[in-house]
Structure 1
Amino acid sequence: MSRTLGVSRSGFYAWRDRAPSARSTADADLMVRIKAIHTGSRETYGAPRIHAELADEGIQIGRKRVERLMKAAGIAGVSRRKASRTTFRDQRVRPACDLVDRNFYADEPDRLWVADITYVPTWAGFLYLAVVLDAFSRRIVGWAMGHNLKAQLVLDALNMALTQRRPIDVIHHSDQGSQYTSVAFGLRCKKAGVRPSMGSVGDAYDNAMCESFFATLEC
């Protein structure tokens, strides 16, 4: 084999017998944990959700590393089925700044909430579901369902979260849908001391935590 590879016999055996690097050892340990989380999610979690779960366990690594290890292991999350857009930006309104920048880590409850809207098919037609998810606990703290996409839908979800949690200076992160950029929603946030934050247009990774939750919900 050493002749085929064009290396010396001693060089080949030295390469074969050398100890694995610290990086490869760490990757092997991470692979075990990633597979366990993926299996525990009924094989629905993708890289964003697994990355968040690892962060909860105190394992601080980059999402790209999680993606690389998942690809090497041949595992993937369940993608949300392509659906009709549920939110559209009101071009007349300036969106809030992105205070999150895809960093969904929170060190305690009610520091960061993420919100989004999806649709739920029923025998009678579609219902729309608005949720508010706490980034620390990964629990839904507010939700509302309705037959239309008016701003009241997200207001109801926010009001439930405010009533249940009574947060102080919480960040509320969403997309730039017209419901979240509406005057009524902005005024409610201001009155409650909520800091609105919005991701960029058309990029699911800017609200990956909610996207991952909806993927799990639809399984």
Structure 2
Amino acid sequence: MIDRSHDLPVVRQARELGISRGSVYYLPRPVPEADLKIMRRIDELHLEVPFAGSRMLRDLLRQEGIEIGRCHVATLMKKMATEALYRRPNTSKPAPGHKIYPYLLRKLPIVRSNQVWATDISYIPMAKGFVYLVGIVDWFSRKVLAWRVSITMEADFCVEALEEMLARYGKPQHRPGQPVCQPSVH
């Protein structure tokens, strides 16, 4: 987008594109090796003690001989999208104005393959960072119909998995005589 060899100054190009001038000059830095090791250990500790916040994780890391401060632990947790699991007040109360969608599969008996599919995205820690995995599964047979791996959380790899699955298996099939899920009107 930005052409440094163009006659128009970079400042003006950034303004015309509606982006920050600082973002034009910013080059992302790779995560240091030491931080990657700490992030891996934080991930392992989070699986063992999911209610641990940055303070408790700092103390656990210090017990293992890793000198680190709470703010650095909090920064790494934010970068990993990891947070302590604990009960928060009024979490079951919907926000005013938010529409509540009915669960359409509640009374549907799942009795055969290619009737209902599910999908999920997960991350996998690697030696130098993380990769993201999307999988589409048939609920009845538990067969993985399609999957993709990506190094970014862009939607492209999810769409590719869905398109591959639809090309290979078609849409989930409704059989005559089977009840069709309809949203209930309240």
TM-score of the aligned structures, taking structure 2 as reference length: 0.37
TM-score of the aligned structures, taking structure 1 as reference length: 0.32
Q: Considering only CA atoms, is the larger Rg found in Structure 1 or Structure 2? A: 2
Which structure features the higher share of helix residues? 1
